[in-house]
Structure 1
């Protein structure tokens, strides 16, 4: 118990970094994923091949590898990112945008063609059709899948320690080595369980709201 209380302040500091990476990634990757998901449906062949190839490559390689490539590989290409947090966020946003893009593309494909035809009959432009008819329905379809990715993102933030950032996992590992005890890792597990539990409750609340307004 004494060790748990002793290491708690450092774990709280680490949790702040974890939450920062989580919220910034979510804030940036969701809209980018939606835009990319729409572009994946383009009828321009060369653009379709390019975007689908990029998404396949990003989803087919580990996030950890992408982080290392951004921080250590980009400088070899003449693009230096000195800020480690910026490198982490870039890798996370690229990775999750690709996953969200596939989810949104699936949601778009699930919308019946009749919805587009009905919007056309009503005189809506393509942009108005997307904004007022298609996208609201897509969000209802993809909500569970997006929710799963959000929970995964909470846990994936533990990877940022690889670039030396003092997030929750790194704080727990340092505390474990310093105290020569497994208790700090148990504290870390509890904090992650609390974070994922809170996000699960928020997502379930959102799902109820969506179902209520259907």
Structure 2
């Protein structure tokens, strides 16, 4: 069997794995954006408690490997609490926790990039801090952060392959299952590499295009 025939025969299984990969990345990033906003606001808060929570969370998550986080959640916490996690659910929680730590830094940087006069002007108009943040600062910050958010989506998409350690049947795991049946490891890993390359390259081009348009808009 040549590599082209292998690809044709394996396509349904690979597409199924790819759909799981995309689903994991999209859901995890949406949840990570929500959690990242909260942590980002905590990190610039005047409250030492909130700032401490965000700092500890970010340092712990960014200071440990994603694979270890997945294993700790699925096997460690699962055993300690006598819970049998669904692999997909465990994968989403792991990716969300990991991505949110990086999103928090992205949001913190984006919020701080907005001119401080914007907040002062909003407060002078009678808006509370939370309302000024929600209606004035965050909309401007998100526009600045869009390229970074897209880049984080790309990273999260690639990170889904690590979830093979907890048997999530995403694209890489689907390839491994096919290899176990036909022992064509070189050919299958080459196919997987090409599929990831095409998807990541397309997303990178979209991200670069949006970043260029954003930069042009800011110059105007």
TM-score normalized by structure 1?
0.90
Instruction: Identify the match of residue 133 of structure 2 among 122, 130, 135.
Output: 130
CA distance in 2, matches of 1:87, 1:58: 16
Matches within 5 A, 1:102-121: 102-121=105-124
> What do residues 94-149 of structure 1 show as CA deviations (whole Å, max 9, x unaligned)?
11111100111112222222111122233333233112221122113322322221
Q: Which moved more, 1:190-199 or 1:98-107?
A: 190-199
Matches within 5 A, 1:14-163: 14-78=17-81, 80-163=83-166
TM-score normalized by structure 2?
0.88
Aligned to 2:168: 165
Q: Which runs of 5+ in 2 are unaligned?
A: none
Instruction: Identify the match of residue 186 of structure 1 among 183, 187, 190.
Output: 190
Alignment check: 8 A CA contact 2:147 2:210 kept: no
Q: Which moved more, 1:202-211 or 1:34-43?
A: 202-211
Alignment check: 8 A CA contact 1:28 1:93 kept: yes
Q: Which moved more, 1:37-46 or 1:199-208?
A: 199-208
The total of aligned residue pairs comes to: 214
Aligned to 1:198: 202
CA distance in 1, matches of 2:200, 2:58: 27
Alignment check: 8 A CA contact 1:74 1:81 kept: no
Q: Which runs of 5+ in 1 are unaligned?
A: none
What RMSD, in angstroms, separates the aligned Cα atoms of the two structures? 2.0
